[in-house]
Amino acid sequence: MRNLVENAQRYGTPPITVRAARAGDRAVITVTDAGAGIPPELVADAGRRFWRGPNSAGKQGSGLGLALVRATAQRHGGELAIDGARFSILLPALRDLSETASQTAANQSQESN
């Protein structure tokens, strides 16, 4: 998330918003700025290592940030979604322990005692 906020500060246009929400069985963390963002035809390239966007000329950066965000999200069973200046990390949401079969069985056993 830090990388997405720093990218918004470096390459985007204020204001920057950060939101967290649950969408079905996923947790979604979104960083958005008011800039144009990444054009749709470049989104597939944006997650590659060493890729730098067209507005990155003269600005510090290695082109690894979004690739690392994407790889980290994937390692946790999620993904990085890019829509213009909206960057979202989608991850499997944690389930309440009471939703698991083993926890439910343990609770039923305790209730019958």
Q: How far is Cα 86 from Cα 30, in angstroms, rounded to an integer?
A: 7
By residue count, the chain amounts to 113
Q: How far is Cα 95 from Cα 55, in angstroms, rounded to an integer?
A: 40
Give the global pTM.
0.78
Return mean pLDDT, the chain.
Answer: 86
**pLDDT tens, 34-86?**
999 999 999 999 988 888 777 776 677 777 889 999 999 999 999 999 999 99
Domains of the chain, each with CATH number or no CATH: 2-112 (3.30.565.10)
